[in-house]
Structure 1
Amino acid sequence: MNRLLIFSIILFSISATAQRNPFKNLSEKDGKIGIGTSLPDELLTVKGKIHTQEVLVDLDGAVAPDYVFENYFTGFSEAMPEYRLISLEELETFLKENNHLPNVPSAKMMLHDGISLKEMNLVLLQKIEELTLYTLQQQKEIDALKEKISEK
């Protein structure tokens, strides 16, 4: 009977400890959860790699870059009235001065601040759309030059 009582107390102690924190690397502070860190600074902070099949990011007020095409083809964008596609010459000048694309954080900023997946994906999509327009412009110039050459 004595052994059974001791065994029961040990089991209860282990169970109670496990219920308080079943994961060794999981912590909670001020309503924030930390995995691999005892100092979470966001709702969920993970120190280490995350393996998942999918990540869904809500735009939550962010503007998808349809404004690039809207501005190019109509001359104005309601979604982003201040947007303007810069010329390739302006782009080259910017690149020489800054060593990164306009509206893309510098390597120094990324190292210091990290990157927001939502913001970066939207910026990269904007850059893809701008590249598409530059390609279309260049193709028009190529076609015009071909026509000029064939006329001679």
Structure 2
Amino acid sequence: MKRIVACCMVLLVSLTLKAQLYTDVVNYKATGTPVYGVKIKTNFPFVNGSQMPSIHFQGYSYGSSEPIDLTLVYYVWDNTFIHQCLSSAGAYTPPMKLANENGKVSIFIDSKSYFQRFNVHVDAGGLAGENASNLAGWTAVDSNLISSASAVTQVAYVNRFSGTVYLPNGKVDSASTRIESDGDAVSYANMMLGVKTTTSLGTTAPMLYNLSLRKDGLFSGNTTAPTLELYALRKNGTFIAPFLVMPDGTVVLAGAQNAVNGNVGIGVRDTKGYKLAVGGNMIAEKVVVKLQASWPDYVFAPHYKLPTLKELEAYLEREKHLPGFASAKEVEENGVDLAATAKALTKQVEELTLYIIQQQKELETLKELVKKSACN
């Protein structure tokens, strides 16, 4: 029996040495606004392999109306802080740095919030520096890191969640951090946001909308710099209307990867099938229209049959508009085709030029006849 009791005592002591929670290592109760921030001066020696603590900050930041619930972890190796990170279970996420100050570890919290109040608890044990003496005598002061501080390290926040994350106020506020997706580092640079649709309307309906900063050139063809892309993914694996902002600022509706091309409407909902529809006025310094059909210089070809003026008169009497031009009714219903109108105008000017030349020749002939008659 004595042997069993002795073994239990040894085991209990061993477990106690391996891990222990030290509560209220620091009790910080500010009654004003810090000038510099809050620096926790620990008694942990800045010695390789000496500590691997979990440091917990819990309290209330009255000035920012935020609960404080932070966990800081790190390890000292090769004269630097490694595997360091922060997690927040509250709303308080100030920038935090680790540093070596005169051979001791210091923690600088860059927060100037009015009436900050928190306690510091530490889980530690099992390593040479994790003992009761090193976890005593910690202080919190309103001070920057000293100028001779070394191994200064900005600690990154890391929080991961499984399942559904509920946001009761319906927004994500990321003032100093980025929203990232590193699931496909080959394709994306820095950012990818996706929104799933809530309905299923068949294989051609969009089921996911993506906004991404893409670097693989899937739609843009540009692999030298990231392109901002907005596109929809359909259930059958095809895409809808990739909207691109190219690295040079060019805005494109791409048609790569067999994407379904859309149209652009400004001030209208229904583009009537046109690539660009504008519901209002627009202005440009120059408009260039490239026609697929030939330009009407064929009017000057030797084989061109110029309509007679009687034929033109008959057409005008019948149709009430010039040949090649849309009628008033057609313009009212369909608008004016600028390219077709410019082509028709050119043809009319060329034909009018031929009529003038023809009439000038006839006039010269008449003058000669009149001249001869006068002589007789």
| Same fold per superposition (TM over 0.5) | yes
Q: Distance in 1 between matches of 2:65 and 2:354?
A: 80
Q: Which residue number in structure 2 is paired with residue 45 of structure 1?
A: 277
Q: Which residue number in structure 2 is paired with residue 97 of structure 1?
A: 318
Structure 1 residues 34-72: Cα deviation after superposition (integer angstroms, max 9, x where no partner): 111122332221111111100010112x110011011xx
Q: Superposition pairs for residues 95-134 of structure 1, below 5 Å?
A: 95-134=316-355
Q: Distance in 2 between matches of 1:10 and 1:107?
A: 57
Q: Which residue number in structure 1 is paired with residue 262 of structure 2?
A: 31
More helix by share: 1
| Aligned Cα root-mean-square deviation (Å) | 3.0
> In 2 relative to 1, CA 148–32 (structure 1 residues): closer, same or farther, beyond 3 Å?
same
Secondary structure of the residue that 1:147 maps to in structure 2?
A: helix
Structure 1 residues 22-45: Cα deviation after superposition (integer angstroms, max 9, x where no partner): xxxxxx9x6222111122332221
**Where in structure 1 do 4 or more consecutive aligned residues deviate above 4 Å?**
none
Q: Which residue number in structure 2 is paired with residue 9 of structure 1?
A: 173
Secondary structure of the residue that 2:264 maps to in structure 1?
A: strand
C-alpha deviation, 1:9, in angstroms? 3.3
C-alpha deviation, 1:146, in angstroms? 0.3
Amino acid at match of 2:291: L
Amino acid at match of 1:57: V
Unaligned runs of 5+ in 2: 1-60, 67-90, 92-171, 177-210, 212-229, 231-252, 254-260
**Match 2:287 to one of 26, 33, 55:** 55
Higher gyration radius (CA): 2
> In 2 relative to 1, CA 44–3 (structure 1 residues): closer, same or farther, beyond 3 Å?
farther
Q: Distance in 2 between matches of 1:106 and 1:42?
A: 21
Q: Which residue number in structure 2 is paired with residue 25 of structure 1?
A: none
Q: Which residue number in structure 1 is paired with residue 356 of structure 2?
A: 135
Q: Which residue number in structure 1 is paired with residue 303 of structure 2?
A: 75
More strand by share: 2
C-alpha deviation, 1:137, in angstroms? 0.7
Structure 1 residues 127-152: Cα deviation after superposition (integer angstroms, max 9, x where no partner): 00000000011101110000001112
Q: Distance in 2 between matches of 1:139 and 1:42?
A: 46
Q: Which residue number in structure 2 is paired with residue 65 of structure 1?
A: 296
Q: Distance in 2 between matches of 1:105 and 1:42?
A: 19
- Counting aligned pairs with the same residue, the percent is 36
Unaligned runs of 5+ in 1: 13-18, 21-27, 77-83
Secondary structure of the residue that 1:66 maps to in structure 2?
A: helix
Q: Which residue number in structure 2 is paired with residue 81 of structure 1?
A: none
